[in-house]
Structure 1
Amino acid sequence: MRSLTTRLGALALVGVLGLTACSFDSDSTTGTGDGAGTLRVANPTPVVSLNPFAANSADQPTLTVVQEVFETLVVRDNGEIAPNLAESWTNPDPLTWQFALRDDVTFADGTPLTSADAKASLQALIDGKGPLAGLWATVEEIGTPDEHTLTIRTSSALGTVLSNLTLLWIAPAAKITDSAFFDAPYGTGPFKVSSFTAGQSVELVRNDAYRGDQPKLATISYRYIPEVSGRVTALTNNEIDVTWGLPPDQLTGLRGNDALTVQSFPTYANYYIWFNSSREPFTDARVRRAMWHAVDFATISGSLFDQAGTPATGPLPEAIFGAAAQNPYPYDPAKAKQLLTEAGYPNGFTTSMMWSTGCCTNGNSFADAMISDWAKVGIVVKPEELERATWLDKLLKLDWNSTMTTGSTITGDADFTLARLYLSTAKRNGYTNPALDEILLAARAELDQDKRADLYAQAGKIVWDDAVGIFPLDLSGNVVLRTGVNGFTPTPNDLPSFAGVSLS
């Protein structure tokens, strides 16, 4: 049975966009005396895919839903790795991991779980070449000695295997290559998908064959309501039961509503602006540093993000394993102009910045404020707000100049962000640095956790000092629940889960 504290994910602050709320039938979603019923969830970022093995393998909206459907071999419980679908594991040698799978698990269709399903899932994640594939770059062989034993052999020691496995969702081997399966997928988890309309809605129903504690909810209904005012209205009108990522100025009024409960908490998430270091003028670190010095982040944060987060001290939030504080970039327009002149742009330049609709709390206002400050030093930035699917496609193709987004180190381990995103082979932001690669690969291979932490601190300093991106804010999360929603417990991994929730 999965640990409740492990499964209940925290929520990164996500965006403010521009549609109106959809309507919910409140009569059909009332809880019953035993807590059963439909939990009505308004997610502020659209769920565009339920396939966790390809382009959306690290997409938070996708993972928020699929974690209710699929399970992983291991989980992180109170900071420690614990068994889940795998009962135990060993290291016969530094290059080999062997996992003993439970023999009492079935998928929602009654098919028994076997090692073939685990192998197919890991292979699909690697073959999908999505954002998580790089975590498994050193895998040489995936073996299935018997139906309940899985072996993973790597070309070099991989100290992050267990951490990585917390994001490997196990799907049926017979279905995993069928794209149509992910229109209504099922796994071994407490819920299964009954309907899915990309970008709009997802309906989950209880998996009565689930081996663990049965969810108290009969169904979970996700609806995309991008506009803040729409979600607030839906809450106050009893059209939804839960939403998150509301801007701070909305929370004050909601705290005074007796029908609502507001929870705020720290997360593993942060706000960042990346530069495409493979495109002029961002090939020059002086230009990237100038972009940072040119913006008055302290003033902007005070006006837009009060109680929504804290000023970042590095490229990772402080609570993450391997994070380390770095020297801040002060607001200094004169320094920015000096750096631009040294880089050959005394009169500035024209560029663009993209972001996805719904990516970030107060995203449009934040972009406007930065663009205004950049203009003061001669940098003209064209704003490009894109639908999420379009933004993600351009992001992965490196078809952009700069981009604004939020992200979460979901595993709580620095490798998930630093190695996954900043290795030269990742090709995520156009930045290449052999010295950084060497440190990150050494950290990934290191089995001594103290040494790993030291190496990630060194890597974080390079990313920060080279201004691969701007890292202004570590995010706090917030969730607003209607009275009668019981059992929700946030944790910092940015994946809100509702399997433990009941309604009264």
Structure 2
Amino acid sequence: MRNPKTRLGALALASVLALTACSFDSDTGGDTTAGRTTLRVANPTPVVSLNPYAANSADQPTLTVVQEAFETLVSRRDGEIVPNLAEKWTNPDPLTWQFTLRSGVTFADGTPLTSADAKASVQALIDGKGPLAGLWAAVAAIETPDERTLTIRTSEALGTVLSNLTLVWIAPAAKLGDQSFFTAPYGTGPFKVASFTAGQSVELVRNDAYRGERPKLEKISYRYIPEISGRVTALENDEIDVTWGLPPDQLTGLRDDDRLTVTSFPTYANYYIWFNSSRKPFTDPRVRQAMWHALNLDTIRKSLFDQAGTPAAGPLPEAVFGAAKQNPYGYDPARAKQLLTEAGFPNGFTTTMMWSTGCCTNGNSFADAMISDWAKAGIVVKPQELERATWLDRLLKLDWDSTMTTGSTVTGDADFTLARLYLSTAKRNGYANPALDKILLEARRELDQDRRAELYAQAGKIVWADAVGIFPLDLSGNVVLRKGVQGFTPTPNDLPDFAGVSLG
């Protein structure tokens, strides 16, 4: 894997791709999809790593690609957990989960899948100490009684084992200690990585050893095109077959193009602005609440986010298990100033807000609108737009005042977002609340799903009332396809999956 300086250099060079979007494989030219077997994808956010076990284990660009090469023990389909590499599982007792792996499964290099690979993959995620490691804090032991049996023992009941496993990608145990493996990784999935240039491109080729239905595509070619206009032009000029995450003002014109299909759908994703609650003045919840009351979000949403989503009613999108509606924050500049005065800032203050390039729908315009509203309340917010690798590094180090981003509850389970991000031990946003910790840990231990939902509703209320962040929008997804792209099915996890696609 390239070192951080190399990745940053790659990202800096990525902007030229907006001018060279036609640099796809030679078999992808022409003005039609007929006869082609390479899907040309323009991803809106750079893929900076293909290692799903460490810092990028929850990074959507990484997971979008990784899901085509790796598989998980179980998957979520239509809201239900279903078998994948594990054909069945049992709970002999509340602290034990036993999984039976499918027989006859091989990795792309022909080596057989065994329980040792599953154990090593779960352990790699834990040892990677990335944003998903905390989901497995209760694991006491991982055992492999035989080649097809994996046993996970926990120190306390863990009601999230199955939903957590939907994000544990199974790789060959022998490769997990070799960082060079992640420059061209492979698993048991329908594709494998042929080449990867961090921040610029990923080339996938079909895994002919795949046990399932043989993909009709021979290749999937991802290119990062940072500029929205570059992606739209590439679509119109038949230089790409698919892209997503376009702002609403671009979709109207594309819907009128009979060469294209625009698909919109609800997702598990939302927009949020976090405050670093460990850094003054955001240590005071009144300051955080004032920041929210100072925003005229209804006006901003109508201007920037028509058809992009719906007003958020809580810190989780409504489709997520455990989401519950909360009382809305109204636009109230007088209340904002009152709260600031009570917190000792009658004349406001100066701070910063960071975000990554291309992170969010209409991100720069949204930042400008918020900064303008905050200025009216005496709060001067200096913008910091950063390359994604730099932003992620600073985010994890808590080296920021506030940050704007989008996120997805990829597992569809509230624990993935609420416990992963808001437990005191997570240290993701500087917020620490023992009462919230107690609720979240109880919910995580609870095996009764109805009781878990009740607890997550209580947890969401605390996060919302304490204004740990501002939650303006539950996001709708959109994918724009050329007419010949067939078989694409949108999923709410905000990870476009192209394994079942064909070009007609």
Superposition TM-score, scaled by structure 2 size: 0.95
Change (3 A) 1:502 1:366: same
Alignment match, 2:21: 23
- CA–CA separation in structure 1 for the residues paired with 2:206 and 2:503: 15
TM-score, normalisation: structure 1: 0.95
Partners of 2:109 and 2:15 in 1: how far apart? Answer: 40
1:400-446: CA deviation from partner (whole Å, max 9, x where unpaired) = 00000000001111000000000000000000000000000000000
Distance 1:18 1:340 in 2: 41
**SS state at 1:170 partner:** coil
Separation in structure 2 between the aligned mates of residue 281 and residue 25 of structure 1, nearest angstrom: 48
Q: Residue deviations 1:42-74, cap 9 Å, x none?
A: 000000000000000000000000000000000
1:36 touches 1:502 (CA, 8 Å); kept in 2? Answer: no
Which residue number corresponds to residue 258 of structure 1?
Answer: 258
Contact 2:259 2:483 survives alignment (8 Å) = yes
Deviation at 1:34, TM superposition (A): 8.7
Q: Give, as a single letter, the amino acid of the residue that structure 2 aligns with 1:201.
A: S
Once residues 55 and 486 of structure 1 are traced to their aligned partners in structure 2, the CA distance between those partners, rounded to angstroms, is: 34
Note the 1:96-175 alignment, pairs <5 A: 96-175=96-175
CA distance in 2, matches of 1:22, 1:33: 20
Counterpart in the other structure of 1:216: 216
What secondary structure does 2:174 align onto? coil
1:14 aligned residue: none
Partner of 2:191: 191
Deviation (angstroms), 1:25: 4.9
- After TM superposition, the structure 1 = structure 2 runs for residues 468-487 of structure 1, keeping only pairs within 5 Å, are 468-487=468-487
Following the alignment from structure 1 to structure 2, what is the Cα–Cα distance between the partners of residues 53 and 138?
18
SS of 1:40's partner is strand
Q: Check whether the contact 1:30–1:38 (CA below 8 A) recurs between aligned residues.
A: no
Give the Cα–Cα distance (whole angstroms) in 1 for the partners of residues 35 and 260 of structure 2.
18
Q: CA deviation at 1:36?
A: 5.5
Any conservation in 2 of the 1:35–1:216 contact (CA below 8 Å)? no
Match of 1:239, as an amino acid?
E
Structure 1: tracts of 5 or more residues without a match: 1-16
1:147–1:236 CA distance, 2 compared to 1 (3 A): same
- Higher normalized contact order (CA 8 Å, seq sep 6+, divided by chain length): 1
Residue matched to 1:6? none
Conserved in 2, the CA contact under 8 Å of 1:424 and 1:432?
yes
The answer for the alignment partner of 1:382 in structure 2 is 382
The secondary structure found in structure 1 opposite 2:175 is coil
| Mapped contact 1:313–1:328 kept (Cα < 8 A) | yes
The count of aligned residue pairs is 488
Deviation at 1:478? 0.7
CA shift digits 1:326-355 (9 cap, x unpaired): 000000010000000000000100100000
Q: What secondary structure sits across from 2:69 in the alignment?
A: coil
1:24 offset after TM fit, Å?
2.0
Name the counterpart of 1:7. none
Given that 1:135 and 1:420 are in contact with CA atoms closer than 8 Å, whether structure 2 keeps it comes out as: yes
Q: Which residue of 1 aligns with 2:289?
A: 289
- Unaligned regions of 5+ residues in structure 2, if any? 1-13
1:229-280 per-residue CA deviation (whole Å, 9 max, x = no partner) reads 1000000000000001111111111111111111111111000000000000
Residues 377-405 of structure 1: per-residue CA shift (max 9 Å, x gap):
11110100000000000000101000000
Letter in 2 for 1:244: W
Letter in 1 for 2:88: S
Residues 259 and 340 of structure 1: CA distance in aligned 2, closer, same or farther (over 3 Å): same
Q: Which residue of 2 aligns with 1:276?
A: 276
Distance in 2, Cα, partners of 1:372 & 1:149: 58
- Aligned equivalent of 2:230: 230
SS of aligned partner of 1:56: coil
- Please show how residues 49-448 of structure 1 align to structure 2 within 5 Å: 49-448=49-448
Residue 33 (structure 1) shift = 9.4
Given that residues 89 and 97 in structure 1 are in contact (C-alpha distance below 8 angstroms), is that contact kept between their aligned partners in structure 2? yes
* Residues 1:18 and 1:405: Cα distance change in structure 2 (over 3 Å): farther
Does residue 495 in structure 1 map to residue 495 in structure 2?
Answer: yes
The answer as to whether partners of 1:348 and 1:378 remain within 8 angstroms in 2 is: yes
Q: Quote how far apart the aligned CAs of 1:23 are.
A: 2.6
Distance 2:94 2:289 in 1: 41
Per-residue deviation, 1:21:
4.1
Name the CA distance, whole Å, in 2 between partners of 1:162 and 1:447.
Answer: 11
Task: Output one character per residue of 1:207-242: Cα deviation in whole Å (capped at 9) or x when no partner.
Answer: 000010010000000000010110000000000000
